[in-house]
Amino acid sequence: YSLTVTVDRHELRCFFGPGLIRRRFALAEIVAAVAVRNRWYYGWGIRLTPSGWMFNVSGLDAVELELVSGTRFRIGTDEPGALIRAIEQGKAGSV
């Protein structure tokens, strides 16, 4: 289907389709955002991987978020660099 990811000054939001399945992360809770490559056998959709939960609709590229709590969450994206920049700009207050 589709995965939409938005970033503003306060939070990162990602949701499938019309938004019934979604996650929100306060930017203050994100310690690190790193471009990663998923293994092909992680699949697509909502998955629990060895690195934590993952939202993905296609491809193998993703951004892995490390949260203050130590948990990790992967968001599949065709543009990992752009997502990381958006997170950094949001944290700096310039989104």
pLDDT over threshold 90, residue 87: yes
Residue owning tokens 């543009």: 79
Q: Which residues pair with 30 in a beta bridge?
A: 67
Quote the CA–CA distance of 70 and 30 in Å, as a whole number.
10
pLDDT tens-place string over residues 1-52: 799 999 999 999 999 988 889 999 999 999 999 999 999 999 999 999 999 9
Quote the CA–CA distance of 9 and 74 in Å, as a whole number.
20
pLDDT over threshold 70, residue 94: no
Q: What are phi and psi of 20, to 5 degrees?
A: -70, -35
Q: Which residues pair with 78 in a beta bridge?
A: none
- Which structure tokens are listed for 39? 């293994």
**pTM summary value:** 0.91
Quote the CA–CA distance of 9 and 27 in Å, as a whole number.
8
Q: Which residues pair with 32 in a beta bridge?
A: 66
